[in-house]
Amino acid sequence: MEEILKNKIKRNLLSIWIILGIVLLVPVGVFYLADDIHIVAICLPEKRITAGEDLSKYECRKVSCTFRYVARHVVSLYDQDDPEKVLYTCGYMVLDDQLQNPFCVFLPIDEAERMENMAGKTWSVMNGGRELISSVEVNGYVWKLSGKNAEYYNEALKAVYGEKAVPVDEVYYIDDRDAVKGKNEMDSIRFVCYAIIILLLGFLGYLVVISITAFRFPQVIEEFLSQTKMSRLELEKEFLNAKDIDGVIWLTPDLTVYLNNTRIGILKNRDIVWAYIKRVHNGKNTFYELRLFCVDKKMCAKVITGPNRQQILEYYQAYCPHIVIGEDRMKKRLFKQDFNGFLQLQYYRYANRQTDSYSGFDRYYGMSGNGYRDPLYDTGSDLSGYRDPLYEDGSDLSGYRDPL
């Protein structure tokens, strides 16, 4: 029994991992390929770097650094949709403190005059002069420069280093204060990235939880055995002789064993009072659930069923006559508003006449009153004073012999 359930749980768990993995990886992949955005990098905290470090290591991550030397203006940008072509950001090639390792930064356009002033002083220093240059701090995300703008950067390299300049295939820049992307665009990008990360972590947490709880079924079995008179051997025998319906539910006259994705449950049939199949719509998908309600008026099981779902209800109807089968408006109203009346439909009529081989059924559910014994157990019983709950006329049943 345990081996069968374990293998089925493994298969179901693997299916869940595969499905959720596809669901998560597809949007992440599309987002990355479409916008060249590293979702995890954007969500990382700001990294302090030194001027001249390889920016490709920090693509899409927020960094900060200081520099003093500005080698050359690269390009200034304006909005293509702006008829007046007003510049909003300026890009410069800057150097580290040893006047080496050039890299690119973009700043707000109001920094252009300051940067040009620093560029003049930098050239003076490169030609042997002495200048006092205040450092500038930038902080922003690292992005890749593309198209004509990347060509402009390589032209700036050649202008500074002449024939010694080595063209750069992939140019990265620091977007100071979101000067290029714009605050609104970056807020949207950050929101989407954080949402995806939170969703990813939530799904991973869910998978971890169900993976841990999935293999707690031996504990479920032990709890069931401790609450009944059954031994493990008897339970194994019941399971082996049970009617297997679609590999999700196993039925015997006494027990119902079910598997709902990765969780199992075991119910005593004598506790079930209502069973029906519910058609459930989930977006464009439709599936069918077996819903079982117990004598405490609670839903005790909800199981996604297979194509042979009707066999479950047919089995209950044949072997568990105390269970109300099917759903309709009258049954729903009676169940909600008059549960005792609902039990009188079939439960009171049949439940006390059924034997439970393992749970001491008569001890818990046998009706006693003025010498009454269930006629199925003793056809010569004295029924003096017994009042059948299904009848309200209070007829004295003295001397009555049940025809059954």
User: Which DSSP string do the residues of 63-110 spell out, in sequence order?
Assistant: EEEEE-EEEEEEEEEE-TT-TT--EEEEEEEEE-TTS-S-EEEEEEGG
- The span from the CA of 204 to the CA of 227, in Å, is 35
Residues 266, 287 share a domain: yes
Please tell me whether residues 203 and 232 are part of one structural domain.
Answer: no
Residue 29 and residue 69 in one domain: no
Q: How far apart are CA 86 and CA 81, in angstroms?
A: 10
Asked if 215 and 13 touch (Cβ cutoff 8 Å), the reply is no
Residue 247 lies inside a defined structural domain of this protein: yes
Are residues 208 and 247 part of one domain? no
CATH number of the domain encompassing residue 317: 2.30.29.30
**Which pLDDT belongs to residue 368?**
30
* 221: in domain: yes
What confidence score (pLDDT) does residue 86 get? Answer: 84
- The answer to whether residue 385 sits within a structural domain is no
Q: Distance between CA atoms of 42 and 187, rounded to whole angstroms?
A: 11
φ, ψ of residue 139 to 5 degrees: the values are: -145, 130
Residues 361 and 226 in one domain: yes
Spatial contact of 256 and 301, defined as CB atoms under 8 Å apart: yes
* Counts for the chain of helices (H) and strands (E), in that order: 12, 15
Do 155 and 83 lie in one domain? The reply is yes
Residue 82: inside a domain, yes or no? yes
User: Distance of CA 278 to CAs 12, 281, 292, 313, 325, Å?
Assistant: 22, 10, 11, 12, 12
206: in domain: yes
Q: For 77-129, what is each residue's pLDDT tens digit? A: 988 777 777 889 999 999 999 999 999 999 999 999 999 999 999 999 999 99
| Residue-number span of the structural domain to which 327 is assigned | 217-365
Q: Taking the CA of residue 138 as centre, how many other CA atoms within 13 Å lie in the half-sphere pointing to its CB?
A: 24
Q: Are residues 208 and 222 in the same domain?
A: no
- Output the pTM of the full model: 0.56
Q: Where are the beta strands (DSSP E) in 96-154?
A: 103-108, 136-145
Burial class (CB in 10 A: 0-12, 13-18, 19+), 56: exposed
Residues 382, 386, 390, CA angle at the centre, nearest 5°? 130
| Residue 61 falls inside a structural domain | yes
> Would 273 be classed as within a structural domain?
yes
The CATH number for 143's domain is 2.40.50
Integer Cα distance of 12 and 263 in angstroms: 10
Residues 287 and 272 both lie in one domain = yes
- Residue where one domain finishes, among candidates 161, 181, 201: 181
Instruction: Please count the structural domains in the chain.
Output: 3
The one-letter amino acid at 68: R
Q: What's the pLDDT score for residue 282?
A: 81
Q: Which two tokens stand for residue 51?
A: 């001027």
Instruction: Say if residue 131 is in the same domain as residue 50.
Output: yes
Tell me, what's the pLDDT at 34?
Answer: 53
Q: Examine residue 128 and state whether it is found in any structural domain, yes or no.
A: yes
What is the predicted pLDDT for the residue at 275?
96
Which among 275, 400, 242 has a CA at the least distance from the CA of 347? 275
Give pLDDT < 70 ranges for the chain: 27-37, 214, 351-404
The DSSP 8-state label assigned to residue 246 in this structure reads: T
- State in Å, rounded, how far the first CA of the chain is from the last one: 38
160 and 198 together in one domain:
no
- Shared domain check, 56 and 12: no
Asked whether residue 228 falls in the same domain as residue 205, the answer is no
